[in-house]
Structure 1
Amino acid sequence: LLPLMMGSMDMIFPRLNNLSFWFMPASLYMLLSSMFIENGSGTGWTLYPPLSSYNGHSGPAVDMSLFALHLAGASSIGGSINFLTSIKNLPVEGMRGERMVLFIWSMTVTAVLLVVSLPVLAGGITM
């Protein structure tokens, strides 16, 4: 939808777009299959309990669910980088700045926020 709104045929990095798309189902599969390893991850839907201490439910299921979250974050970062570079480089001549559709502006803000915040969150769940 984004390239069509900018008057382009495709994104700047179509392979990165494809890779980030296929990381998401792999992440979902890993997150769901972590329930069946040993006793499951035991963290609930918020992943709030301590994930790496003995007070929490540490083990390979938690490690697998954390890796699934890292994979989902990598998918979002890849898609965001692709959106940002496509928005910056693809619009036709008359579609710069205030002439862009509001959806493209909102995707730009969302992509910038994801690129800035997801590495910090990934570092937080790794600790």
Structure 2
Amino acid sequence: RLTLMHPGNLLLKSDSFYNVIVTTHALVMIFFAVMPLLIGAFGNWLVPLFLSAMDLVFPRVNNFSFWILPSALYLLLLSGYVEDGVGAGWTIYPPLSSYSYHSSPAVDLAILSLHLAGSGSLMGAINFLTSNKSLPVDKMKGERSVLYVWSI
């Protein structure tokens, strides 16, 4: 807003830097804050409680799915410093993320980081599903089981 109020004020280093900030903020909030908190943290806390288990079936897979997130977040933040950064919006819509608009490898780095975060979520989902199917739960089969365990 300061740049729009005073046109000569160069608060941002380039015109596309605002798009880079908005894109990075949206991707971090959606894929590295909201989704891991709602699915990963609550799932790792509540699913063993609802299944009356000490831990999930694959604790090392669970650990790896957690520790893959910081490396993916690092790659996403690093993509903002590669050439002009990723200014394609949080949807990474194809006209804005195509080679003709963003010819730098920043978009590729951001997409790689989202794939890493998605693989961590996929490993967590497989762990939740196998824990639900393989842990013996007394009197909680079929329609008597907790719906949250199936929905996570």
- Distance in 1 (alpha carbons) for counterparts of 2:56 and 2:115: 24
Stretch of structure 1 that moved more, 23-32 or 61-70 = 23-32
Gaps of 5+ in 1: 108-127
- Distance in 1 (alpha carbons) for counterparts of 2:64 and 2:123: 8
Match of 2:88 in 1: 43
Within 5 Å, which residues of 2 pair with 1:1-127?
1-50=46-95, 51-53=97-99, 55-107=100-152
- Across the two proteins, how many residue pairs are aligned to each other? 106
SS of residue in 2 equivalent to 1:36: coil
Gaps of 5+ in 2: 1-45
| Equivalent position amino acid for 1:16 in 2 | V
- Distance in 2 (alpha carbons) for counterparts of 1:33 and 1:71: 14
Query: What is the TM-score when the length of structure 1 is the normalising length?
Result: 0.76
Percent sequence identity over aligned pairs: 57
SS of residue in 2 equivalent to 1:26: helix
> How much does 1:74 deviate?
0.6
- Distance in 1 (alpha carbons) for counterparts of 2:67 and 2:101: 31
Query: What is the TM-score when the length of structure 2 is the normalising length?
Result: 0.64
For the aligned residue pairs, the C-alpha RMSD in angstroms reads: 1.5
Which of structures 1 and 2 has the bigger CA Rg?
2
Please list the CA deviations of residues 67-91 of structure 1 after superposition, one character each: whole Å capped at 9, or x if unmatched. 1011011111101110110010114
Contact 2:65 2:124 in 1 (8 A): yes
Contact 1:87 1:104 in 2 (8 A): yes
Stretch of structure 1 that moved more, 34-43 or 79-88 = 34-43
Contact 2:82 2:104 in 1 (8 A): no
State the 4+ residue runs in structure 1 displaced beyond 4 angstroms.
none
SS of residue in 1 equivalent to 2:128: helix
